């Protein structure tokens, strides 16, 4: 979806979905992804869709269905409470939040030029789906490890790194999952510079894959 110099010109095609399920989604325009997830003990169907036909401002939503019934719906204001508008769905993945406890991570772009990366982590707890972490950073990425994650945020420096889509260094902040929330544990600055288009286009990594591909953030 992120093209040269940040151009958002490659939105994915609509995913297939049964007509009876589609009819239960309020304001549905384009189905972006359909997942069988296991956040709740019994599992659920997760549907991510656009609720506006305007590709530049599609108002994404995330619906959780159990037994073919919508039990929870998150709109873009719940997913990106501090966004700049013009949110667009980018990617999603289910991951191990803790032992025997799954969560869903959603990545979106925000702002008219798409240079802001918004993330929402959704869990199920005591019968309720809830957003437990919703950071927004510049051209970012999340790297998942056991009971932890790293959040990448592009770092603006003196020339030649002062343009939005030029190569950037990143500030990498570690968060630990403690007492049912993410707690900031510290930050470090990369010595390498990265292409923000590539970072933002692949917003979710497992720790071992990220280390293999990028090397240490130090």
**Extents of the domains making up the chain:** 4-214
Q: pTM of the entire structure?
A: 0.90
Tens of pLDDT, residue by residue over 58-89, are: 999 999 999 999 999 999 999 999 888 999 99
Tens of pLDDT, residue by residue over 116-159, are: 999 999 999 999 999 999 999 999 999 999 999 999 999 987 66
Quick one: DSSP state of residue 126?
Answer: T
Whether the Cβ atoms of residue 6 and residue 114 lie closer than 8 Å to each other:
yes
Q: Rounded distance, CA 201 to CA 172, Å?
A: 17
Residue 145: partners with Cβ closer than 8 Å, 6 or more residues away: 206, 207
Longest dimension (CA), the chain: 55
In the block, residue with structure tokens 């399920």 = 21
């Amino acid at each position: 979806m992120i093209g040269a110099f940040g151009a958002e010109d490659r939105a994915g095609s609509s995913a297939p979905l049964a007509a009876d399920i589609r009819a239960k989604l309020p304001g549905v325009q384009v189905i972006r992804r359909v997942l069988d997830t296991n956040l709740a003990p019994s599992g659920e169907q997760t549907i991510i869709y656009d609720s506006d036909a305007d590709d530049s401002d599609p108002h994404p939503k995330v619906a959780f269905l159990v037994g073919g019934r919508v039990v929870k719906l998150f709109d873009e204001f719940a997913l990106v409470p501090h966004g700049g508008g013009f949110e667009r769905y980018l990617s999603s993945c289910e991951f191990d939040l803790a032992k025997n406890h799954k969560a869903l991570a959603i990545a979106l772009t925000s702002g008219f030029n798409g240079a802001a990366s918004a993330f929402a982590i959704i869990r199920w707890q005591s019968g309720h789906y809830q957003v437990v972490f919703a950071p927004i950073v510049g051209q970012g990425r999340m790297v998942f490890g056991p009971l932890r994650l790293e959040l990448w945020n592009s770092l603006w420096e003196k020339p030649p790194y002062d343009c939005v889509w030029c190569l950037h260094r990143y500030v990498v902040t570690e968060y630990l999952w403690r007492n049912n929330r993410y707690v900031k544990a510290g930050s470090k600055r990369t010595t390498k510079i990265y292409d923000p288009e590539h970072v933002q286009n692949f917003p979710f990594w497992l720790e071992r894959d990220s280390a293999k591909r990028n090397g240490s953030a130090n």
